[in-house]
Chains A and B, each alone.
Chain A
Amino acid sequence: MNNVHDMGGMTGFGPVSPEMDEPVFHERWESRVLALGLAMGATDQWNIDAARHARETLSPAQYLSWSYYQVRLAGLISQLLAKGLIDAAELHAGKALHPPSPITPLKPADVASVLARGTPYARKSSDAARFRLGERVRARNIHVAGHTRLPRYVRGRAGEIVRIHGTFVYPDSNAHGRGEDPHWLYTVAFTAAELWGKADNALVNLDLWEPYLETP
């Protein structure tokens, strides 16, 4: 989906403002939003790609005016509603009005091991890699309606394969319940001249799945 989350290359947001001695959380509720998202994520009701897509489908005005944790909260609520785990009346009441779905909550004793295990995304595949190290490729000029990790600023641009990572869960499928659909994942390096038309001494590297790429 072409939306404002895909902001690489925009220049109107002003300077970056680093904060000295920044706390991990600025408000207690931010820490609860993080924890609620992690705890619900651990129950496997949705995957990371679906969670990202939920945030990306916020309206542009909301996405840009809300803080990071406000966006995360909105994404979490939309997932809970979409999965039928809660409804709007319960959300309003702040208590259960209907029987729950059968979900085993994350236990305190399991927090450390669940975080340490993480969720690896590499998958076995019998497909051979289509591209080689050093090969020139072009990011396809595609505009999918759903979730994708191919930013607009590289579409149609040519670069070089600089790393081959193996086969990984494909977000465009995984976000929409179409399975993990693993594909080869590459790092592609684009010159600043190719992307921005200027001779800055810079390269921009992106991790791109094989379906995003074609032979130039």
Chain B
Amino acid sequence: MPRPAEPKAPPMAGSDHHDDHDHDDEHGLSGMALKVKSLESLLIDKGYVDPAALDRLVETYEKNIGPRNGASVVARAWRDHAFRAWLLADATAAIASMGFAGRQGEHMVALENTETVHNMVVCTLCSCYPWPVLGLPPVWYKSAAYRSRAVIDPRGVLAEFGVTLPDLTTIRLWDSTAEIRYLVIPLRPQNTDHLSEDRLAALVTRDSMIGTGLALPPDKVP
């Protein structure tokens, strides 16, 4: 769908993370960094938070919980028909069997793409996202641009990700308005019958599990 030329979008929720740099203090800390440091000091002083727990939380989402979790779920579903059936029937239990569970993934549903149906996930009201399988959401997923337009112009949004689907393909948007979290199982690329689960997982991108991308063909992955 053609859209008029637009000026650079103004900063908006989740779309601009560099707007605090004009207030650096003599230590090089930005206004935001100082504000957060001050709040953290206060909450530690009050005894409400333990700084070592904060470190552990950050480390968890920087190192342990991310889209490689979801990719291993998808790869197993591609190779193992019984697991695929379980995943579609009870995603929370099937995913938990691989060790991924908990916060922002308490109630999981898996959505399988087919030749005729393409699934795509959004949260128009905030930024709900399946943390145990995909980690924390990228900035674009939280941006006003994605949250607003995915539901009204999914093909236009997909084009911005370089994805074009046939007109005959039905696009199913899933607006995460409750505590159900959605994981898209992308179409398995062709010529991958011989690949191991690990090799298959390498084809599964984060965006393909949100529905704004497709799984990679094997010749695109070293």
Contact = CB atoms under 8 A, between A and B. Distances in A.
A120 B125 CA distance: 20
A107 B45 CA distance: 15
Contacts of A121: 106-107, 178-179
Interface residues of A, number: 100
Interface string A10-21: 111111111100
B139 to A, nearest CB: 6
B151 interface: yes
Contacts of A71: 13-14
A35 B54 contact: yes
Given A111-B56, A201-B168, A40 B43 contact: yes
**Which range holds the interface residue count of chain B?**
35 or more
A147 to B, nearest CB: 10
Nearest to B36: A29
A57 to B, nearest CB: 13
A105 B47 contact: yes
A111 B148 contact: no
Contacts of B48: 39-40, 43, 85, 100-101, 103, 105
A209 to B, nearest CB: 7
Interface in A85-117: 85-86, 90-91, 93-96, 100-101, 103, 105-108, 110-112, 114-117
A5 interface: yes
A interface, over-half SS: mixed
Nearest to B101: A116
Nearest to B162: A18
A116 B61 contact: no
A40 B49 contact: yes
A5 B123 CA distance: 10
B82 interface: no
Nearest to A76: B39
B53 A39 contact: yes
B152 A196 contact: yes
Interface stretch (B4-12, B73-81, B190-198): B4-12
B145 A15 contact: yes
8 contacts: A16-B160, A24-B62, A27-B32, A28-B33, A66-B11, A95-B42, A111-B60, A206-B177
Interface of A: 5-19, 22, 24-36, 38-40, 43, 48, 52, 55, 63-71, 73, 76-77, 80, 85-86, 90-91, 93-96, 100-101, 103, 105-108, 110-112, 114-122, 149-151, 153, 163, 165, 168-169, 171, 185, 187, 189, 195-196, 200-209
- 10 nearest CB pairs, A to B: A8-B124, A14-B9, A94-B38, A207-B178, A68-B14, A118-B102, A10-B148, A35-B54, A35-B57, A29-B36
